[in-house]
Structures are given as structure tokens and as C-alpha cells.
Amino acid sequence: MTWVDPAGLIREAQQGGYAVGAFNMHSEETTEALVLAAEQSASPMFLQVGRAVVPHMGLAAATAMTRRVADASSAELVLHLDHGPWDECLEAIKLGFASIMYDGAHLPFEENIASTRRIVDIAHSFGVLVEAELGRIPDADEQVDWSAYYTDVAEAERFVAETGVDTLAISVGIVHGIPAHDPQPLDIERIVRIREVTGVPLVLHGASGLTETEVREATAAGVHKFNADTDLRLAFRKGIEQVWGAGDRQLEEALAVGRDLMVAATIEKLGQYGCLGRSAVSA
């Protein structure tokens, strides 16, 4: 396994005109699925410890599990904290994460700037990359007024200038989950404008609901990290349901089939993002 520099990884994606995949692990088997997908496809990956697993088992235990699985692999990975509040970000820095996402998007704008700036100062002193979020991302099929959810271009310019964040997650029509009805069209023009005024690589969360065309257009507009989770969890669930649907079977067999289907789903995502075979260890 090779833990890689996240800033260098994003810079290579910018230069190569592709994006890097970022995926959350939820258990031993889902961690294995992500690491196997990165290894088998020779693709770099942000391996994310996120907001679902941390309440379940704690950040330290989830990190130890992730590292144990990754250490047995030849994959090229970044250990990243996803949607971390203040205390989790500080703990992640102490635990040796190379990249963190501080989520202050729920805070008033001025407070978000101030708290993000403090996290950036601390993280950068340890050589840790910082992603932040501006704008609000609704859950799939939640009825929202998109004008109140989109990332404001002028606010994004000021936010990046005053916080010094390395990457910025934005809201441009994406949702958490997969909509059952026609999704909001992705605002590609807004992505272009935000990239122009901020000058930093952009991140899209909720990428499970995007079409391949939207992924390509967003990448060309300045997005170089895509976070996806729902599609991969559904693939894992499908494997478990297939085994248990056949009658009384061992849990381990169901987990193994779920892992295999999640590997395939992850590799498919990596292909959409254009990072297949981009790992330096494949050379």
C-alpha cells in the first residue's frame, strides 16, 4: 500500500483532465471492497472515514480498521475524513490523516469562514489538506428551493480567499442519495464561474445520482474529486440479498458476495471519473 500526497494527486488530476474517486467505508468488508477496487484497477482513491461509520464505531477504531485493510494492499490511497465537525477534524489530524473535510456549511457564513480558517491554520501546520463545503446539499427527493441551496459565486470567492482551503465542495444541483424522480439538472455554468473566481479544485458530493455526461462536463468545468456512496452501498446490499434470498446461508458468504459486487461498482465509478490506471504504482 502507498499512502499518497492528496495535493499532488489532485494536481495530477487537474493536469490530466480527470477526477479522483472518493468513497466511504462502512465496515471491514466495504473497506476491503474499496481497497480491492483501487488495487485491481490501478486507480488512486480517497478512502474516506465518514459520518456514518464514526458514530457506529468511533473515529480511532474506524481508522485502525481502514489502515489494517489498506496495509495489506498495493493500492495508492489517501486517508481522508469526510464531513468532520471541529473535534473530529482535530482528532483526525492527531491520528495522522493526510486530508480532512471540515464541514461548517450549516453555520452562518461569517462563522463558517472563521472556524474554517482556524482549522486550515492547524491542519496546514501538520501538512494536512483541507476541504470545506459551501452551500447546502439536500437529501434525494427532498422538496427544496434551489436558490437557497446553490453555492453563491461571490461568497465562494470570498470564502476561499479568507480561509485558504485547498479544495471546495459546492452545491450545484446535487443531492445525497439517488432521486426517484427527475433530478435537478447540474448547473455546469455555476461550476465554471466558481472555479474561475476561487482558483481551487472543486469537489462534488452526492455523485451517485450523476449521469456520465454530467460527470464529464463537471470535470471539464473544474471538479477533480467526486464523492459517491449510495450506488456502492446498494451494490453491497444486492449481494447480501441475493445470497439470503436463496435460503438459509452463512453470513460470511453473503458478505463476500456483497463485497464482490461493490468492487465492480467502484471500478465502474473510477472509470467514469477517468482515473482508471492512473496510479503511479501501476507503472
Q: Which entry of 71, 82, 87, 166 is annotated as an active-site residue?
A: 82
Nearest Cα to 131, choosing from 205, 65, 186? 205
Separation of alpha carbons 140 and 180, rounded Å? 8
* 145 in catalytic set: no
**Can you tell me whether residue 64 is helix, strand or coil?**
helix
Q: What grid cell was written down for 118? A: 482556524
Burial 31-45 (b: 16+ CB within 10 A, else e): bbbbbbbbbebbbbb
Separation of alpha carbons 105 and 189, rounded Å? 22
Instruction: Determine whether 70 is exposed, middle or buried from the number of CB atoms within 10 Å of its CB (0-12, 13-18, 19+).
Output: buried
DSSP string across 135-189? S--PBTT----GGGTSPPHHHHHHHHHHH--SEEEE-SS--BS--SSPPPPP-HH
Separation of alpha carbons 35 and 29, rounded Å? 10
Catalytic residues: 82
